[in-house]
Amino acid sequence: MPTQTQTTLYTTVESPIGQLLLVGDGEALRGLYMQEGRRPMSIPDSWQHSEEPFAEVRRQLDEYFAGERVEFDVKLASEGSEFEQRVWRALAEIPYGETISYGELAHRIGHPDGARAVGMANGRNPISIVVPCHRVIGADGSLTGYGGGIDRKRFLLELEQGTQRLA
């Protein structure tokens, strides 16, 4: 989150998977949370509601859910450990419509025995959808753990796979 001197801004947007909370500082997106998922984000009184700084993110989310966008192009600023940052960067490299296992992701970041740690970092990803943590699945192909719930994970994967077939 922003430092003490920065103002945290937020807005909400309706989507096919429910209400999304967008959090930022006016320059970068710092969080995208599924408010109807397993862990909705509480909005502190110190945050300020603002629509305008999120206009581009909203437009890109609309295009994504319409099957017209396969990559996001917005400035991101998430806070996490060095390891979490490595995992989140690797998530962003998973192509649209594809999935990989936690073990494969661990191998990609040079931590081949770290599937469990990768899973934990994946679960702490503060910018869901844009940083596509939903593209990581179990080694057996099962849809495992997702902060937004398995139904939302399935929806996002089917959206991407359906759009990919049309492309």
Distances (CA, A) of 84 to 50, 67, 79, 113, 115: 28, 29, 9, 16, 13
Here the tokens at position 27 are: 């320059």
The answer to whether 101 touches 139, Cβ cutoff 8 Å, is yes
Active site residue 133: yes
The C-alpha angle 86, 17, 34, rounded to 5 degrees, equals: 50
Q: Of 94, 121, 127, 133, which is the active-site residue?
A: 133
Residues forming the active site: 133
